[in-house]
Amino acid sequence: MNQAISMSDAPPLRDGAHTDGTAGACAAPFESGSDSPGDGCAGTMAQHLCVIRSNEWVNDEYKHMVVSAPAAALAARPGQFFHLECPSGQRGTAYLRRPMSVYRIEPADGRIEFLYKVQGVGTQGLSEMVAGDTLNALGPLGHGFALPDACDHVLLLARGVGLATLAPLAGHAVAAGARVTAVLSARSRALVMSEAYLREVGAHAHIVLDDDRSSDLVPLEAKLRVLHGSNPFSFLATCGSNRMLALLQRLGAEWCVPGQVAIEQLMGCGIGACHACVRPFRAEGDVGRRSYRRVCWDGPVFDIQETLPW
Amino acid sequence: MNQAISMSDAPPLRDGAHTDGTAGACAAPFESGSDSPGDGCAGTMAQHLCVIRSNEWVNDEYKHMVVSAPAAALAARPGQFFHLECPSGQRGTAYLRRPMSVYRIEPADGRIEFLYKVQGVGTQGLSEMVAGDTLNALGPLGHGFALPDACDHVLLLARGVGLATLAPLAGHAVAAGARVTAVLSARSRALVMSEAYLREVGAHAHIVLDDDRSSDLVPLEAKLRVLHGSNPFSFLATCGSNRMLALLQRLGAEWCVPGQVAIEQLMGCGIGACHACVRPFRAEGDVGRRSYRRVCWDGPVFDIQETLPW
Amino acid sequence: MVDLSVNLGSLTLANPVMPASGTFAEGNAQFFDLNRLGAIVTKTITDDIRDGVPPPRVAEFRDATLFSIGIPSKGGDYYLKETVPFYRRYSPPLIASISANTIEEFGTLAGKLAGSGVAAIEANVSCPNLKKDGKAFGMDAEATHQVVCAMKSASGLPIWPKMTPNAGNVVEVALAAEEAGAEALVVSNAILAMAIDVETFRPRVANMMGGLTGAATKPIMLRIAYQCAQAVQIPVIGCGGIASGADALEFMLAGCTAIQVGTANFISPTAMPSVIDELTAFCERRGISALRSLIGAMRPHEPIPLQQGGAPL
Amino acid sequence: MVDLSVNLGSLTLANPVMPASGTFAEGNAQFFDLNRLGAIVTKTITDDIRDGVPPPRVAEFRDATLFSIGIPSKGGDYYLKETVPFYRRYSPPLIASISANTIEEFGTLAGKLAGSGVAAIEANVSCPNLKKDGKAFGMDAEATHQVVCAMKSASGLPIWPKMTPNAGNVVEVALAAEEAGAEALVVSNAILAMAIDVETFRPRVANMMGGLTGAATKPIMLRIAYQCAQAVQIPVIGCGGIASGADALEFMLAGCTAIQVGTANFISPTAMPSVIDELTAFCERRGISALRSLIGAMRPHEPIPLQQGGAPL
Ligand SMILES: Cc1cc2nc3c(=O)[nH]c(=O)nc-3n(C[C@H](O)[C@H](O)[C@H](O)COP(=O)(O)OP(=O)(O)OC[C@H]3O[C@@H](n4cnc5c(N)ncnc54)[C@H](O)[C@@H]3O)c2cc1C
Ligand SMILES: Cc1cc2nc3c(=O)[nH]c(=O)nc-3n(C[C@H](O)[C@H](O)[C@H](O)COP(=O)(O)OP(=O)(O)OC[C@H]3O[C@@H](n4cnc5c(N)ncnc54)[C@H](O)[C@@H]3O)c2cc1C
Ligand SMILES: Cc1cc2nc3c(=O)[nH]c(=O)nc-3n(C[C@H](O)[C@H](O)[C@H](O)COP(=O)(O)O)c2cc1C
Ligand SMILES: Cc1cc2nc3c(=O)[nH]c(=O)nc-3n(C[C@H](O)[C@H](O)[C@H](O)COP(=O)(O)O)c2cc1C
Ligand code: FES
Ligand code: FES
C-alpha cells in the first residue's frame, strides 16, 4: 500500500506560512452526476496517513478526534468527508471504511478534526485510538457546501451529529462576509456540542431541546420565521434530521431561499465506483421524476429542494 | 456462555490447604480410542475463566504466562492441555481456539503456567494479554503421561517448545520417587529454557545445542547411551522433534524400555468431536496396520512405539 | 415463560436447537446438560468401517474454517451398541445421520437403525468429501428422491435429507425430497472450498478440497435455507454459521422451524445452551410468547418504484 | 527484473492484475497510475438506461460484504461517448462488461462496441441481481453458449464470459463457453446471499438478496476457479476475495492465468498496485524469473494410503 499515500508533514505548520484553507481547493471537485473527475482537484484525493493528536470524549456518546494532516488533506472543504480505515477494537474489525465529515479544518495548524458518535464496530475502533496512532484517511471526498455568490445571512440547522458536518461551514461563511445563525437541536443540554466553537468563529448559536420541547417542529418553525423576519436568510443549510429537512424545504420554497443538505448513507467505496450509497432524488426541474444519486460522489451535499426526505 | 464456565476463586490459595496436583485427578480421563467419557474425571473439563497474573517474554520467541485457575483446572496432569480462546491481537482474531500444554501446575498457589512460542494470529493475541485480563481456557483436555508402576529413572528428551509439555512431568516423576534426567535440545544457548525450573524440582538437566553440534543425532545417541549405561532408564518421554522420536523408538526397542511421546496437530474442537486432529498410528501389536487416532482425545500423549514419525 | 417448542413433522421438540452432524460428540456431555437440547444429531456413519482422509484436515480463516474429514466411521453395529445407548440416557430425540455408497446401502443402514430408539434419520446426501462418480447424491434431485424413498420404506422412521449448498438447483432437490416423503429438510451442509499454502504450494487440507463452515458462510446458507423454505411445505432446519441467538433467529425469520449449530460448538462447547438462553431472552424482551410465531416472519422491504408520479417515495 | 506478463488468448498483459467489474470507476484514477494495471475492466453496462435497485444496497460482515446494486447503467451510447475515451488515455487493454435481457440483445450491444477501442468484452451472464425467469444465463450451459456465440459473431472481439458460483454445474457451463469460442473465462461473480436484521425483521439489503463478496468467499471462489481451470484449455481469470499478492498467487497456483480484484478496491483504492508489487517481491524472494511459471504449480499432497504394509507412511 505504498501508492498515493501521503504522510503528514511533521512538524505541522504552526505559524508563518499561513495557508488559507480555501486557496487552491474547490468546493465541488467533480461535476455532480458525472463520472469523470474534473481537472481542478485532481490529485488531492489520496490515502492520507494522519497522526492522532488527541481523541477525547465530549459527552457520553461523542468523541472528538484531532489529527495532523498532510497538505492535500487540508484542502478539504466544509461538507466534504474522509473515508476512514477503522482499526480493530473491542467489537472487532470493520471490513469496510467509515465515512466521516470534516468537523474542523485548520490549515495553518496542519490540523483536521472529526466529531463522531460511537455506534458500532467501526466507530468503536476509532474511539480506541490514542495520540500518536496513525489514521488512514481517504479523501477529501465528495462535494462540499457551495454558498451562493451574494450571501448575507446563512442558516445552519443541525440535529445531533449533523452538527459535525455543518460546523465548518460557519467559519467559512463568516470568512466570506456572511452573518451566520446556527440553530442546534439535541435531545438534552448535555448533548449540545460546539456552541463555543461556533461562537468563536463568529456565528450566532441558538439551542433547541427535546427536553423542553423547544425542538418540536411548531416552535422551531416559529423561531425560524422570527429569525428570517428580522434578518432574511440568503442560504439554508441543514444536516441530521429528516423532519428538519422537510421543514426547510417548505420554508425555503415559501421564502424563495436556496439551500443545501448533507445526507448520509451506508457506503462501500466512497469514490463513486460501487453505487452502494444511492438515495432517490427529484430530477432537477422535473418534480415527478426521481433518480438515484450517489451520496459519496454526487453529494454528500445536495440541493435542498431536490432531496427527498426518507 | 454462562454454562460450565468456572471462575478462578480469588484470592488464590497461597498457603495452608495444600492440594496435591495428583489427588483426585486422573492421568487418563477417558480410555484411549473410546468415545465415551470415563466416569473418573467427569465434570473437570470446562471453560475456565483464568485471571492472568503475568505474561512475560523469556527470550525473543517465547512467552511465559502465569494464570490463577479454579480448582477443576488445577486437576490438570503433565501432558494434558488447555484449548485457549485467543483474544484479538495485532494480527487479527483467531477463529478457533489454540491448544497449549500445561507447563507448570501449582495447585497450592492456585496457579497454572504456559510457555508458548509466538507464531501466528492466535499466539500473537495471547502475547498481548496483560495481568488482570481473563483467559478462557477449555480443559484440562486429553491424556497426560502415565509413568509405569516401577519407575526408577525417567528420561525427558525435549526439543524447542516440546519442553513446555515435558517440564511438568519432571516434578511429577520426582514426587513419584524417580530420578529424572532431562536432555534439552535447542538451536542456541539463548533459546534453552527452564533449566533452573527443572533443577529446582530435582531433575538433572543436560543441554545439547545446534550451535556446537552437540544436538546432532550421533553425539546425542552417544550421550543417551552413556546415561543409560550408568543408570538405566525405566521410562522415556519426548516431545518436539521427529528425529528425536525416531531415535528414542530405536533405543527404547533395543533397551526394552517403554516410553511415551506428546504429539501436536492442528485442532478443531479439542474434545474429540471433529476428527480434525488425527495422525496415523501403528495398531497395538500389529505393526503392519495403521489407523488414525485423535491427538486431542486419544492423546496428545501416545505410546512411543505405536507413534509414526511424520 | 416463553414457549420455545417447535414441531418437526411427527416430532415436537422442546426448543429448536440441535447440533449439526459431525460437530458434536460424547465429550460435549461434559460441558452442559444435554437434556437442554431440542434434539441430538450424531456424526454421520456409514455401515462399513472407514478411516477418513489423511491430515491436515483443517485450515482456518478469519471467520470460517475449512474441514476435510472424510466421514471416518466405526460402522452401524458400533453405533447401535455404543452410541445409541449413550445418548438414550438423555431425553431429547436422537437423530442419526447416515451416508452410503448406493441407494440400496442407504436403505439397508436405515433399516438397521429402525427400532433402536433413533427418532429420525438425517440423510447425508451432501457430504462434499464422499464421491460417487464425482457427484454427490444431493446434487441430483432424482438420486435424492430415491435415497429418501429407500430409507423411509426400510426404516419407517422420519427421514430428514440434508441439502448440499453446492447444488445450483437446491430448490429442485428439496422439492424432490419432499415428494419422496421427507418429514423435514436440513439446509445445508458445508460449502465445497479449497485453500493453498503459497509458500509450500500445497493445498491446506490434504484432501485438497474440504467444506467451508462457520460464521462467514451464514449469508449464503441463509439464502439457501430461505429458498428452500419458500418452496416446500415441510419444515426446514436451518444450518450454517449459527453461533448465537440472533443467528438462529435470522434463520427462523427466513422460514426455518429449527436450527443446527456446527462449527460454533468448537469455539465454545456451550454454544448451544447459550443460543437457547439468547432466544428466550429475545422473546422476553420483545414480549413474544411463542418463539414459533417468528418462523417466516421476515418483512421484505416494500417495493419502492423509482419512477413514480408525484407521490412521496 | 521479474517478468509479470501473461497471455490471455490473443491479448498479452503486462501483468495479471485487473479490477473486477463494478468495483472500479473513473475516480480510482486519482489514486494511482492506471497504466500500472494488466487490464482495465469497467462496470457492467446494459444498452438500456437502468436505475438499479433501491437502497439499502450494502450490508457488511466481519470479512465479507453483501451488495445488491442491480446494474444501474447509463446505456451503450454513454459508454462509447464517455467511458471508452476516458480509459483509452491509458495503455492497458480496456475490457467492457455487458449484460442484457436476451441472447439477441447481448449480440447487439457487443456489436455496438466493436471498433470502439475495447480490447475484449466480459459477458456478465452471472449477475445474481438480474433475473430472467428467475434464472441467470450463467446457470445454464446452453444459454451461456448462445450468449458467447452471439457476442463473438456480432463483435469479432475476444469474449470472456464470467461464471456464476451459484451454478452447481459451473464446469459444464465453462466447457460450453469454451466450445462457443470464449477466449478466456472470468471465475467467478459474487455468490447469492442474504441477511436479515433481527431487530426490524427486514432484509439487510432492500433487494432481499445480494452478492456476497470479499475475503471470506475466497476458499469457495478458489475451488471453483480450480475446477474450471482443470476442465478447460482456455485461460481462466480468477476472481473472488483477492486482496493481496498472496491471494493472487493462490489463484495462479490453482491454474489461473490472471486475476481480478473486487471488494478490496473499496478497502484501499491502491489495492491493485500493491498486489502487483507483492507479486514482484514474491518472485524476487523465491528467485522466480517469470511469474507465469507459477500458473497451475500447486502440488497436491502425495496420496498416503493408511492401510499400507510395513513401509513407512
Ligand atoms: C458523508 C457522511 C458523513 C458522516 N459524518 C459523520 C460525522 O461527522 N460524525 C458521525 O458521528 N457520523 C458521521 N457519519 C455516519 C458514520 O459514517 C456512521 O455512524 C458510521 O459509519 C457507523 O459505523 P459503525 O461501524 O460504528 O456502525 P455500524 O456497526 O456499521 O452500524 C451502526 C449503526 O450506524 C448506521 N450506519 C453505519 N454506517 C452508516 C453511514 N455511512 N451513514 C449513516 N449511518 C450509518 C448503521 O445503519 C447502524 O444503525 C457520516 C456518514 C456519511 C455518509
Ligand atoms: C496438544 C498440544 C499442545 C501444545 N502445546 C504448546 C505449548 O505448550 N507451547 C507452544 O508454544 N505451542 C504448543 N502447541 C502448539 C500451538 O498450539 C501452536 O503453536 C498454536 O496453535 C499456533 O497458533 P497461531 O495462531 O499462533 O499460529 P497459526 O497462525 O495458526 O499458525 C502458525 C504456524 O503454527 C502451526 N500450528 C498452528 N496450530 C498448531 C497446532 N495445534 N499444533 C502444531 N502446530 C500448529 C501452523 O501450521 C503454522 O505453521 C501445542 C499444540 C498441541 C496440539
Ligand atoms: C468437522 C466437521 C465435520 C462434519 N461432519 C459432518 C458429517 O459427518 N455429516 C454431515 O452431515 N455434516 C457434517 N458437517 C457439516 C455440519 O453438520 C454443518 O452442516 C456445517 O458445518 C455448516 O454448519 P456450521 O457453519 O454451523 O458449521 C461437518 C462439519 C464440520 C465442521
Ligand atoms: C458493489 C459491487 C458491484 C459489482 N458489480 C458488478 C458488475 O456490474 N458486473 C459484474 O460482472 N460483477 C460485478 N460485481 C462482482 C465483482 O466483479 C466480483 O466478481 C465479485 O465482487 C467477487 O470479487 P471480490 O470478492 O474480489 O469482490 C460487483 C461486485 C460488487 C461488490
Ligand atoms: S460508496 Fe461506492 S459509489 Fe458511493
Ligand atoms: S480437535 Fe476435534 S477431534 Fe481432535
- pLDDT at residue B20 tops 60: no
Average pLDDT, chain C: 92
Q: Where in chain B are all domains bearing CATH 2.10.240.10?
A: 16-29+260-310
At D304 the pLDDT is 64
- pLDDT > 90: what percent of chain A? 73
Between D135 and B115, the more confident residue is B115
471488494: which residue's cell?
D263
Give the percent of chain B with pLDDT over 90. Answer: 73
Read off the DSSP letter of residue D7.
E
Domains of chain D plus CATH, in order, are 6-52+70-194+214-294 (3.20.20.70)
Map residue D258 onto helix, strand or coil. Answer: strand
Closest listed residue to residue A124, CA positions, set A155, A163, A84, A170:
A84
How far is the alpha carbon of A292 from chain C, nearest alpha carbon, in Å? 8
Grid cell 463513486 in the structure block, residue: A272
Beta strands in D84-130 (DSSP E): 94-98, 120-124
Tens digit of pLDDT for each residue in D4-15?
999 999 999 999
Put simply, the chain D residues between 288 and 307 with a CB less than 8 A from any chain B CB are: 304, 306-307
Ligand nearest to the CA of D261: 4
**Residues D49, D53, D57: CA angle, nearest 5 degrees:** 130
Tally of CB atoms within 10 A around B291: 18
Chain B with chain C: Cβ pairs closer than 8 A:
133
> Which residues of chain B have a CB within 8 Å of the CB of A93?
88, 92-93
Measured from the CA of A118, which atom of ligand 1 is nearest? 26
Q: Please give the mean pLDDT across all residues of chain D.
A: 92
The predicted model gives B35-45 an average pLDDT of 49
Report CA-CA distances (Å) from D152 to D48, D116, D180: 20, 15, 9
Give residue B39's pLDDT. Answer: 34
Which residue, D89, D56, D65, D71, is CA-closest to D21?
D71
Examine the pLDDT at C309 and tell me if it is beyond 80.
Answer: no
Question: Which of the other chains make 3 or more beta carbon contacts under 8 angstroms with chain B?
Answer: A, C, D
Q: Is the pLDDT of residue B290 over 90?
A: no
- What cell numbers appear for C60 in the block? 482456518
Question: Among C153, C154, C152, C122, which residue's Cα sits nearest to residue C138?
Answer: C122
B90 touches chain C (CB under 8 A): no
Asked whether residue B42 carries a pLDDT value surpassing 70, the answer given is no
- Is the beta carbon of B276 within 6 A of some atom in ligand 6? yes
CATH 1.10.10.10 fits B16-29+260-310, yes or no: no
Q: Which residue of D has its CA nearest to A121?
A: D62
Residue B3 has pLDDT above 80, yes or no: no
Does pLDDT of B271 surpass 90? yes
Find the length of chain D: 313
B61: pLDDT strictly greater than 80: yes
Q: Name which of A31-35, B273-277, C77-81, D39-43 the model is least confident about.
A: A31-35
For β-strands B153-159 and B179-186, DSSP reports them as: parallel
Catalytic residue positions of D?
A: 127
pLDDT value of residue C241 = 96
D75-120 pLDDT, tens per residue? 999 999 999 999 999 999 999 999 998 899 999 999 999 999 999 9
pLDDT above 70 for C129: no
Q: What is the mean pLDDT of the segment spanning C159-169?
A: 94
> With contacts defined as CB-CB under 8 Å, which chain D residues touch C246?
198
| CATH 3.40.50.80 domain range(s) in chain B | 149-257
How far away, in angstroms, is C98 Cα from ligand 4 center? 39
pLDDT at res. A13: 30
Which of A185-199, C123-137, C205-219 is predicted least confidently? C123-137
Residue burial A148-159, b: 16+ Cβ < 10 Å; e: rest: eeebebbbbbbb
Give the closest-approach CA distance of C306 to chain A in angstroms: 6
Residues of B whose CB is below 8 A from A92: 88, 93
Q: What is the pLDDT of residue C305?
A: 61
Residue B123 annotated as binding? Answer: yes
**Residue B43 confidence class, pLDDT cut points 50, 70, 90:** low
Q: Exposed, middle or buried, A214 (CB in 10 Å: 0-12/13-18/19+)?
A: middle
- Residue B11 pLDDT greater than 80, yes or no: no
Q: Considering only alpha carbons, which residue of chain B is nearest residue A95? A: B92
CATH architecture of A149-257: 3-Layer(aba) Sandwich (3.40)
Strand B46-57 versus strand B5-7 pairing type: parallel
Q: A117 CA distance to ligand 1 centroid (A)?
A: 8
Report the distance separating Cα D189 and Cα D166, nearest Å.
9
Distance CA B304, CA C250 (A): 50
- pLDDT at res. C304: 64
From the CA of D124, how many Å to the nearest CA of chain C? 18
Band (pLDDT 50/70/90 cuts) for residue B190 is confident
Hey, are the CB atoms on A274 and D31 less than 8 Å from each other? Answer: no
Please state which CATH class domain A44-141 belongs to: mainly beta
Name which of C32, C55, C83 is nearest B265 (Cβ-Cβ): C55
Q: How would you classify the pairing of strands B62-68 and B46-57?
A: antiparallel
Residue A22 in this model has a pLDDT that exceeds 80 = no
To the query of whether residue C256 is one of the catalytic residues in this protein, the response is: no
What does the pLDDT average to over B60-79? 95
Q: C84 CA distance to ligand 6 centroid (A)?
A: 21
Q: Predicted confidence band at C217 (pLDDT cuts at 50, 70, 90)?
A: very high
Q: How far apart are CA A162 and CA A144, in angstroms?
A: 14
Backbone φ, ψ for residue C194 (5° rounding): -150, 165
D15 CB under 6 A from ligand 4? no
Q: Which residues of A are annotated binding-site positions?
A: 98-101, 122-123, 269, 274, 277, 296
In three-state form (DSSP H/G/I as H, E/B as E, the rest C), the secondary structure along C134-164 is CCCHHHCHHHHHHHHHHHHHHHCCCEEEECC
Task: Average the pLDDT over A100-115 and give the result.
Answer: 96
In chain B, ranges of CATH 2.40.30.10 domains: 44-141
pLDDT-based confidence at B288, cuts 50/70/90?
Answer: confident
Q: In Å, how far from its chain's centre is CA C20?
A: 5
C63/D66 touch (CB, cutoff 8 Å), yes or no:
no
- Interval A237-285: pLDDT, tens: 999 999 999 999 999 999 999 999 999 999 999 999 999 999 999 987 6
pLDDT, tens digit, for every residue of C70-94?
888 999 999 999 999 999 999 999 9
Query: Chains A, D: CB contacts under 8 A, how many?
Result: 132
The complex scores an ipTM of 0.89
The three-state secondary structure class of A265 is coil
Pairing state between β B98-101 and B81-84: antiparallel
The rounded mean pLDDT for chain B is: 86
Q: For chain A, what percent of residues have pLDDT higher than 70?
A: 85
Task: Say yes or no to pLDDT of A290 above 90.
Answer: no
**CA neighbours closer than 13 Å in the CB half-sphere of residue A21:** 26
